[in-house]
Structure 1
Amino acid sequence: MKKFLAFSIILTIVISGCKKTQEYNLQFNINNLENGTAYLQTLSEDGMQTIDSAAIVEGKFSFKGSLPEPLFVYIKLSGKPRRIGLFLENTKIFVDGHADSLENVRISGSPLNEEYKQFKSLLSAYDNRQQELQQQYIEARKVNDTSTLNKIDKLWDLLDRQQNEMVLQFISQHKNSVISPFIITQRLIYSLNVNELDSLVSIFPAELENSIYVRMLKKRVQTLRNVEIGKPAPEISLDDTMGIVRTLSSLRGKYVLIDFWASWCGPCREESPNLVKAYERFHNKGFEIFSVSLDTQRDKWIEAIQKDHLTWTHVSDLKGWQSTAAGLYGVNAIPHSVLVDPQGIIIQNNLRGEALIEFLDTLFR
């Protein structure tokens, strides 16, 4: 299960300590919009963070301020579920539209938003085709048409590859723009391996070195480098189900499977019988499992452990996707596993099912 939109953008951090030299002036004119409040927001790991607000009077409102660098922001309007997303930069930006079609607002006066509009236009063809395939998939599922379902799966994979190629080409052609690292954080940061991501980040010029988006990408690369095969497994120290602190290092001298999971994760629960099988077969030979839950509700966590008969060490800080251990290991999807040798060195990633059993068989022969 993919972690959705897992990057941190906090405007107050970005602007702290910076000399105010230029200003942004964001002017809105939204027809048929009721009086209320507009909120200027950024997306953080904890969700949307409001950094400014303005009164809406007869469809008009504005935000003024200063930024050291362009930043993608969202505008939330009271009474409207849809947000307006745009790049904020130190210039005068005009946004016009209708309250009933906020997805079609017109943004002018901003070179970055013109550039981003080009990207969204290229992307729309793929998005439309994906929506068509999704609807066809739903209809085929209703009648259990496996032949059509298989064809759609292949078409989806092909379309996904073509879309990624288009995105990479756009990034290469716009490598001097802050839009490109932003697009990577939105669309590619969790789908590329560490070498692919590192190579992509290297194309950006020195002028973008301090961009918040480039810094986010470099942080991701460093996190993945820290948990590559051959590296010492970072320490994990969390409470177990009884509130007793358990550490990964306490299992040194044994082969340990670090298992990231959650009670609400269907694929994780499906993997439980395989883990039970591996534990029963190899535990007496020196194999341990150290399960780290991304749950937020203690009762659900404990209930799943008992129901699935998971009799090994379980820990969690009950912070969900904000789990400190998950962040340390760069986990963006679960189930996720890391196999550590008796010396505490990472030797494999994401072994599941029979692949795990077969690998452990070779270790304990």
Structure 2
Amino acid sequence: MKKRKLICLFVLALSFANSYAQKAWKIEGTTTDVPQSTTIYFNKAVDGDLFPLDSTKAVNNHFTFSGVTERPEVRYLSFKISGKTHWAEMFVEEGTIKAVMSMKENTVRGTLNNDIYQDMKDEVNDLNNRQRNVMNAFRDSTLTADSIKALRAEYSRLGNAVYDVFRKGMRQHITKPVGVMLFKQYSRKNSIKENQELLKMIPAEYQNDETVKAISQRIKNAIATANGRPFTDFTMIAPDGKEVKLSQYADKGKYVLVDFWASWCGPCRRSMPELIEFYNKNKANGLEIVGVSFDNNEQAWQKAIKTLNLPWPQMSDLKGWNCEAAQIYDIHAIPNTLLIDPKGNIVGKGMTHSAIEALLKK
């Protein structure tokens, strides 16, 4: 009995070790139009910036990096010429990775995920070149109005086609690291239903990824705050320093327009005179406005309220984009609005003034 138990423990330990086995990788890089002895950096991304993990000189147009990894990870090769950083996104994974660094275009191939990703980038580069050709065509002074309209439509179509390439790759390869990376970058281009289906297909080892978890929470919030659902309450601070809740205004028999803004937001400030005029015109018809600021500077927030003469209640937790309201209602651009009906149900986001007035007339 003890012998069988020991064998089982050995097999379990072996399985556990294999699942975290270190896999060797090597980057064999070449440079084309890059000056001799240029320093090439091997980086990871930290808060949107490149953080060097290693560096080497490109000698005789060649450079190498090597190491081990438990699973494929996104890394970046870069070099700087005349103050401009040139970089290439890649997957560090088992095998030999072939990288070509240039001041015009970089390519990375040689392993599964890098080959898949480079195929997509090649397709996107072609679309980008075609967009540039369209832009150059605008320089023709003899263009007719119809020709200009057609060029604008083609430019827009090519731009949408770029997203289509990555979204198609995301769906086809969601069970691979390249698909997960694309999901993290382009999930906002998908519907809620698409994201729910893709989340189920992401391998277990990526389910605890911080970005994947954030997307999952964002989807849950989107479902909870969809049109027709009861509003979700949150607590902030009023300009006088007292705690205030959205529920102190919503679900009180009036339409409540939640205005997401910030003192540092130029478009927000420019839109305030029109919003004040809209408020004065419709407050007697059952409209209330509540300002939710994405500020993180209390003095700037307080000063903007006075300077703009905002007549409606204000609230903020002074956490900027990390404020609770932004997370709950998935607000990632301001100015923005949320309309809540007299019964406390969500009507819509970003509605036009005319659409709101039509509801008030009903």
User: Shorter-chain TM-score: which interval?
Assistant: 0.7 to 0.9
Structure 2 Cα separation of the partners of residues 126 and 42 of structure 1? 26
| Alignment counterpart, residue 87 of structure 1, candidates 61, 84, 91 | 91
Indicate conservation of the 8 Å contact 2:286/2:360, yes or no: no
Aligned match of 1:3: none
The match for 1:230 is: 228
Q: What is the 5 A alignment of 1:134-283?
A: 134=135, 150-187=149-186, 189-201=187-199, 204=201, 210=207, 212=209, 215-252=213-250, 253=252, 254-265=254-265, 267-283=267-283
Q: Aligned-pair distance for 1:311?
A: 1.8
SS in 1 for 2:277: helix
- Segments of 5+ residues of structure 1 without an aligned counterpart are 1-17
- The counterpart of 2:41, out of the listed 38, 42, 50, is 38
Letter in 2 for 1:283: K
- Deviation readout 1:108-154 (Å, 9 max, x if unpaired): 442110110011112122222333444556x59x9998766544443
- Report the Cα distance in structure 2 between the residues aligned to 1:298 and 1:66, rounded to whole angstroms: 46
Kindly tell me: are residues 24 and 275 of structure 1, through their superposed partners in 2, closer, same or farther at Cα, counting changes over 3 Å? Answer: farther
* Equivalent in the alignment of 2:72: 70
RMSD of the alignment, in Å? 3.8
Taking a change above 3 Å as real, the CA distance of residues 201 and 240 of structure 1, as seen in their structure-2 partners, is same
TM-score by structure 1 length? 0.73
Match of 2:123? 122
- 8 Å contact from structure 2 (residues 235, 243) kept in 1: yes
More relative contact order in 1 or in 2 (CA 8 Å, sep 6+)? 1
**Alpha-carbon spacing, 1:49–1:346, altered in 2? closer, same or farther (3 Å):** farther
Q: Quick one: structure 1 residues 86 and 243, their matched pair in 2 at CA, closer, same or farther if it must change by over 3 Å?
A: farther
Cα distance in 1 for partners of 2:161, 2:64 equals: 40
Percentage identity across aligned positions? 24
Distance 1:136 1:333, change over 3 A: farther
Mapped to 1, the partners of 2:316 and 2:97 lie a distance apart of 46
Greater Cα offset, 284-293 or 227-236: 284-293
Compute the TM-score of the two structures, normalised by the length of structure 2.
0.74
- How far apart in 1 are the matches of 2:316 and 2:36? 45
Q: Deviations over 1:306-339 (max 9, x none)?
A: 4543222233344443333212211122332211
Q: 1:134 to 1:327 in 2, by over 3 A?
A: farther
SS where residue 86 of structure 2 aligns?
A: coil
CA contact (8 A) 2:234 2:246 kept: yes
Counterpart of 2:310?
310
Q: Equivalent residue of 2:217, what SS?
A: helix
1:53-93: CA deviations, max 9, x gaps? Answer: 224345546363434x4332334546652333112234453
Structure 2 residue runs of 5 or longer lacking an equivalent are 1-17
CA 1:230–1:353: 2 relative to 1, 3 Å: closer
CA distance in 2, matches of 1:26, 1:239: 54
User: What residue number does 1:48 align with?
Assistant: 49
* Paired letter, 1:262: A
Contact 1:181 1:201 in 2 (8 A): no
- CA displacement 1:195-241 (0-9 Å, x = unmatched): 34334545x36567637465454333222112112333223323344
Alignment-derived partner of residue 336 in structure 2: 336
Question: In the aligned structure 2, how far is the partner of 1:158 from the partner of 1:83?
Answer: 27
User: Does the 8 Å CA contact 1:23/1:90 hold for their aligned counterparts?
Assistant: yes
Partner of residue 11, structure 2? none
Asked if the contact 1:239/1:246 (under 8 Å) is kept, the reply is: yes
User: Which amino acid is 1:239 matched to?
Assistant: I
Deviates more, 1:323-332 or 1:85-94: 85-94
Residue 289 of structure 1 aligns to a residue whose secondary structure is strand
Q: Does structure 2 conserve the Cα–Cα contact (< 8 Å) formed by 1:293 and 1:316?
A: yes
Once the two structures are superposed, residues 146-183 of structure 1 have per-residue CA deviations (whole angstroms, 9 ceiling, x without a partner) of 76654444333333444444444444443443322322
Larger Rg: 2
Aligned partner of residue 21 in structure 1, secondary structure: coil
**Change in 2 beyond 3 A, CA 1:191/1:270:** farther
